[in-house]
A and B are shown apart, each in its own frame.
Chain A
């Protein structure tokens, strides 16, 4: 009998985005997404998780962007990219997810990773759907890619680097 995957970490959690980095939920979601290494796995999880999970995935992706910079971690960056791609597949308003895409792009730059191959690799996991807002983001002008256009700045909290929302 195939073991059922535990998706409880994706349940709505008010204030998750404001909690200290990292926390137990970050670790649970990262571990959940670590198994998404091919298109079949991506499709399975996209079907199995409730569509409203897009919000937790989007917030996780924003947190993962900060953690990627803080830890200079490609693993965190990739977990964030998988999360944001899933969120884009599940949401009915892609604009809500774009801030996370913006932060992940900037995070890749800050840790000296070329964003394009990373974004394309995760887009491929989702089957490169037409009009994919993850890979389309790469085509933006530099000015429109600035995280400030999405209301964020590069900052820090008591434990290290953090993308901070300023509105």
Chain B
């Protein structure tokens, strides 16, 4: 959604792989960037019930929540510097 938005980083690596996606999320967390959610955080979007595991989007959301990000509308907001968890 945000691919053409000024000032936005969008993970669009070709070829895609899950590990590169995670590295990108770690970098976003390290840089304390605010995240626009292109998808709703709901069970079907974060968990693949057929496969029995998290979807890549679910992994991203969990990594950010573990780092202290909080949701505000369509955005995930980084925690204050003093609260940023590694």
Per-residue contact bits, chain B 1-40, to A (CB 8 Å; 1 contact, 0 not): 0000000000000011111100000000000000000000
Partner of B15, one of A14, A140, A151: A140
Answer yes or no: A130 CB below 8 A from chain B CBs. no
What interface size band does chain A fall in? 20 to 34
B20 surroundings in chain A (CB, below 8 A): 149
Per-residue contact bits, chain B 24-68, to A (CB 8 Å; 1 contact, 0 not): 000000000000000000000000111111111001000000000
Per-residue contact bits, chain A 18-55, to B (CB 8 Å; 1 contact, 0 not): 10000000000000000000000000000000000001
Per-residue contact bits, chain A 104-138, to B (CB 8 Å; 1 contact, 0 not): 00000000000000000000000000000000110
Contact A150–B15 (Cβ < 8 Å): no
Complex-state Cα separation, A120 to B52, whole angstroms: 30
Contact B51–A62 (Cβ < 8 Å): yes
Complex-state Cα separation, A59 to B54, whole angstroms: 13
Complex-state Cα separation, A13 to B50, whole angstroms: 6
Answer yes or no: A17 CB below 8 A from chain B CBs. yes
B interface residues with partner A (beta carbon < 8 Å): 15-20, 48-56, 59
**Would you list the 10 A-B pairs with minimal beta carbon distance, nearest first?**
A17-B51, A18-B52, A149-B17, A14-B49, A17-B52, A149-B19, A55-B50, A59-B50, A59-B51, A151-B18
